[in-house]
Amino acid sequence: MIVLPKWKVTRFLIDFKIIPLALALVYAIYIFQAMQIGGGMDFGSLSAIMALFTEENAVLAGWVHYLAFDLLVGMWMLDENKKLGIHQLLLLPCLIGTFIFGPLGFLLFMIIKGIKQRQS
């Protein structure tokens, strides 16, 4: 997505969401396993969530969850950029930021998008 965003293979993977779908399947497997081991999952408090992340399968599921959604946000950015035409060098920190820091990369993209739209 960073190096060859317009390549036919990259576009295929983005358009059909192949990797996020595969990650969703992995996520489903690990969540199911975590639920079998630990029972129900309580997301009602910080302490309950911290307790969830003491179970290895739940941690792995959480990591896959972040990977899938960060990737989907990056794909959305590339799709949005078809209309916007933001230079790839400006898009680069957005994509890397989304992969490493999630919402911060998204925030940066939205700021650049807003500036670009005001210039148009």
Question: Whole-angstrom distance between the N-terminal and C-terminal Cα of the chain?
Answer: 25
What does pLDDT average to over the chain? Answer: 91
When pLDDT is averaged across residues 53-74 and rounded to a whole number, the result is 90
Contacts with 49 (C-beta within 8 Å, 6 or more apart), sequence order: 42, 43
In a domain, residue 113? The reply is: yes
In a domain, 41, yes or no: yes
| 29 within domain boundaries | yes
What is the count of structural domains for the chain?
Answer: 1
1 in a structural domain: no
Domain region containing 114: 8-119
Token pair in block for residue 72: 């989907």
Q: What is the largest CA-CA distance in the chain?
A: 54
Q: Tell whether the model's pLDDT for residue 41 goes beyond 80.
A: no
- Per-residue model confidence (pLDDT) at position 55: 79
pLDDT digits 0-9 by tens, 64-93: 999 999 999 999 999 999 999 999 999 999
Q: How far, in Å, are 37, 45, 67, 71, 73 from residue 94 at the CA level?
A: 38, 31, 15, 12, 10
In a domain, 53, yes or no: yes
Whether the predicted pLDDT of 44 surpasses 90: no
Within-domain flag for 3: no
Predicted confidence at residue 120, as pLDDT, reads: 81
Give a yes or no: residue 24 inside a domain: yes
Label residue 35 by pLDDT band (50, 70, 90): confident
Q: Which range is least confidently modeled, 43-57, 61-75, 103-117?
A: 43-57
